[in-house]
Structure 1
């Protein structure tokens, strides 16, 4: 493990330049450039808000804004997008870069770091767009907003841990790549992104809270929309679990790395 972190440090400039090039190439190939990063999630929010706001807006106490439901959706979407896109990116990361791994000698873990950096930059751009929309709608997050970077870090760490583990396994068992999108779709509807958990029967609420994304999404909504503190106890526990998952993923990746090129 010590050698792994030394390799990461030695190739830090390669990682940073690769993130920059990845973003630059993505923007140059599109006429709208960076706008596409925010268009997709914001359009999803708009569709849900138009269709469901009349049904669920009354279920959001504590928000004195007629666009309350749209605000709630954007906060939850910001968290979910970082988590799900990180997993999706890592899921096919090594398969997509198979030719590069065969032709160049570099620490394979750099690919995961490049993916993490790219996802983080994308999410920061989405955050800027969300805050702009918040301002237009007349809503400004309170002082609890300062905790958002910590929440983003935990979300990214959880997504990278799960994604790196699944991405490594997907090289050897391609069925994983077909199953994970279905699981993520189901998990989205089991997470209070589109709805408020308080609308569910009390006997179901406790079960939904076992979803590992519940404390993160709810904490995003608390700091961005409700002006409340994050669910600290749950978030700290989840951060510890995420770190364990990430360490396990690194160990599995390191042991499987020598065989990856042959399989690819």
Structure 2
């Protein structure tokens, strides 16, 4: 399977390029919408919470700390949610192509992941430009970002492929996950710092594999501090296990995908 994916690497690269061009083919701003959507969401939250409700972060007096904190967490969440949601529906969306062209079906979620990674890099570049205007420059902890990207991509790809295959057989999966992701977002310390959660709900962060990765982004981009290695054990384990299970699950279900579609 991996050998066939390597043989179709040019197909994957050209499909990623075509996906990026095709999503905004008639748009005047084109790929800028990949960046503007999360930035607009961060701007709204920053105005409402930091200016209207006077929300402030502990351990810092910088007036730009909250927007930076929010943008950092949103960058991590946007990558995860895009890979997961698009992987869940990619087999259904590309059903006509799968019926007409012979190629490794696992190429489809890889294409989705490649597109999401490029969008993420563009978003990070836009965030760094905003940091310059805010007078904030990340320190040496910036080298942690590739670790966070790998962990998020692994979890998103693994869960996305599993749920994507299930969604072919049970179309309710995508509808349920849309609701679950909304709840998941608010149970991740992106809009609020983790220490404001009541003690009764503190266990939620320990069970949330995206929480330590979002915190890694915030530590790297805002606080310039190194996260503990223990906090990354769960997301790393989930990423490896979900990807391994996704590959096995996909190989067993792939012969029936075309018939169901």
TM-score by length of 1: 0.95
Q: Do the aligned residues in 1 keep the contact of 2:83 with 2:156 (CA within 8 Å)?
A: yes
Quote the residue 2:55 is aligned against: 57
The reply to whether residue 41 of structure 1 matches residue 38 of structure 2 is: yes
1:41-78 superposed Cα distances (whole Å, 9 cap, x missing partner):
011101111111143633x1333421211111000000
TM-fit CA distance, 1:124: 0.6
Q: Does the residue aligned with 1:28 lie in a helix, a strand or coil?
A: coil
CA distance in 1, matches of 2:102, 2:5: 14
Deviation (angstroms), 1:209: 2.5
The alignment's C-alpha RMSD in Å is 1.3
Q: Secondary structure at the match of 2:43?
A: helix
C-alpha deviation, 1:34, in angstroms: 1.6
SS of the aligned residue for 2:23 comes to helix
Distance 1:195 1:56 in 2: 13
In the TM superposition, what is the alpha-carbon distance from 1:85 to its structure 2 partner? Answer: 1.1
Mean alpha-carbon deviation: is it higher for 17-26 or for 152-161? 17-26
Which shows bigger deviation, 203-212 or 91-100?
203-212
Question: Are 2:28 and 1:31 aligned?
Answer: yes
1:193 lines up with 2:196 in the alignment: no
Name the CA distance, whole Å, in 2 between partners of 1:238 and 1:99.
Answer: 35
Q: State the 1:197 CA deviation.
A: 1.2
2:230 equivalent to 1:233: yes
TM-superposition CA deviations, 1:152-175 (whole Å, max 9, x none): 111011001011100010000001
Q: Does the C-alpha gap of structure 1 residues 56 and 241 become closer, same or farther in structure 2, counting only changes over 3 Å?
A: farther
Task: Give 3-state SS (helix, strand or coil) of 1:92's partner.
Answer: helix
8 Å contact from structure 1 (residues 82, 123) kept in 2? yes
Give 1:74's aligned residue.
71
Distance in 2 separating the partners of 1:45 and 1:217? 15
Counterparts of 1:162 and 1:56 in 2: how far apart (Å)?
37
Shift of 1:208: 2.6
Separation in 1 of the partners of 2:159 and 2:19? 22
Aligned to 1:217: 214
- CA distance in structure 2 between the aligned counterparts of 1:119 and 1:152, rounded to whole angstroms: 11
For 2:233 and 2:137, the matched residues in 1 are separated by: 26
Q: TM-score, normalised by structure 2?
A: 0.96
Deviations 1:215-239 (A, max 9, x none): 1111110001111113422213321
Cα distance 1:8–1:56, how it changes in 2: closer, same or farther (>3 A)? farther
Give the CA deviation at 1:203.
Answer: 4.1
* Runs of 5+ unmatched residues, structure 2: none
Deviating runs (4+, > 3 A) in structure 1? Answer: 54-57
The aligned counterpart of 2:107 is 110
Gaps of 5+ in 1: none
Q: In the alignment, what sits opposite 1:178?
A: 175
Q: In structure 1, what is the equivalent of residue 117 of structure 2?
A: 120
- Say whether the 8 Å CA contact 2:84–2:160 is kept in structure 1: yes
2: distance between equivalents of 1:196 and 1:56? 14
